[in-house]
Structure 1
Amino acid sequence: MDYFKQRRAYRNFKLYEASVSNGQNNLYRELLDYANDEGKLDDMFPMKNSALLSLTGLSEAGIKKARNELIQLGLIDYVKGRKNVKAPEYRIINLYDKKSRVTSRATTSEKSSSTRTEEVAQPVPQPVAQPVAHVFTSTDYNLTDTTTTTSSPSSVPESQNNEPEEPHPIAFYQRVFNRPATAIQTPIIMDYADELGSSMVNHALMLAGESGASFNYAKGIMDNWIKDGIKTVEQAKQASADFKSKKKSGSYSGRTQVKETLPDWATNTNQKTKESAKITPEQEAIIAARLAKLEASKKEASHE
């Protein structure tokens, strides 16, 4: 099974065929990614409930509910395990191969009609196995230099590039960051390529590389483009130029200047303090008399 074709088929399934809840989606994606990482896309594979609880954030009841719904939707096969003896087993049903999908759904339906939903039939073997390779080809930005790296988690056929004249985004990622994309980053990059096109993804990766930032920086840029409806590299460059121009001219400011004003009670207190500092003529006379008496006492003491 081809991992990236399966991802695209699953996305189309959610868009056009059936509603998938967040819990179902989390469970399916964890099972799909684990099967890909372990090279078990066409086979049954064991997965402990405790691991799924940790990975999906679902409760035990939530796992059971989401699993049963995925089975009914024809997305997975499932064989119940035995507590402390054998872990439950799963298999991802091929969504892009219509013949395989029909066979799997028919088998699942027959088994479910005679037993509980969880006790699904043994998986129907896929006619052709297409495991994701671990050899990665990266192409220079000008398409003239090609090197091969064996450390990438997965390779993407050049035919999946939606803009053949552009370097493949996965290959371009490696050239920008000097390392291959991880198994988690690869499908994310391809999703952005489906949404924006390879040229836009490559431009965002280049901006991240020039800024010395991480892949998350490029993700933030692309999310802003999607939100603002920017669809071409030219539009992205113009938006960046406009932003810099506004910031330079001072029309854009990230911080608002606020003038602090004292409350009325504070102002009144200051006023009262000033008023209380004034003395009356009677008080001045008393103070003068005391000063004169003190001065007289000093003179008498000096004569003695």
Structure 2
Amino acid sequence: MDYFKQRRAYRKLLTEELSLSLGQNVLYRELLDYANDEGKIDEQFKLRNSVLASRTSLTEQGLSQARNRLVQEHLIEYTPGKKDKTAPAYKLVKLYKEFTKPLGNSLPASYKPVDQVVGSSVGQVVEHSTLLLPDKDKTKDKNHSPASAEPHVDFDKLFEYLNEKSGKHFKNTATNRKLVHERLREGFTPKDIQTAIDNVTAGWLGTDMEQYIRPSTIFRASKFEGYVNSVPRVAKPQQSGGKPQRQEATPDWMKPGYKAPKQEATDDQKKELAENLAALEELRKQKEKAE
């Protein structure tokens, strides 16, 4: 099984047929990445629930529900483990078909020399409009198919944009460029790169997650698609030091030109005031006699 073909086929399913929650999507991506890293993408592999929950940030119940949905959609095969003895086992279901050129000069009408997901059609190439694409990218290269060529990215502009949105100072290094190239080879677009930056910075600035705003986090294979499709919250106002600024309402008596409202005294209040004044006057006379 080819890792990148599997990723593209999975994304096509999400676009055209499936509707998975973020947790289900994260779980599948984590299983796919783990199998690829361990060299078991075509084999059954074992992974403990505690490890998988830690890698996906899902609760035990959330992990179980997400896994059941992936099994129902025939995306994975699952074999339960035995408590304290064996870990659960997983196997990825191949989502694409390989087509080979038949012998002879004539081709049958059913032959399609492209990776294709069962029940889906080949998508059209969409021209992207984004600040990450220079004008020269719009020209056609007769030696490369637009559907398979990796989109050109102006990395100087990309990291300038990331630094502007995050307030940090990341450099256009080979390591950082490699992360972006890997996401583009998986079928993501330059617009997806920009969207992920927007969503992460909008959601994490001013929170404990701000320290994790960096290329290795934003462009990580197992998390990137989630960042592209997440709905960012409104970021809190920032001070120069990067911490959220505390906002307090100014009371009316502190505002310029404030005048205290006039209140009429009641008859009881007037009577009490007169009695207090009379008592003070009596004390003053007694003091004068004593002197």
TM-score normalized by structure 1?
0.42
* Structure with greater Cα Rg: 1
Higher relative helix content: 1
TM-score, structure 2 as length reference: 0.43
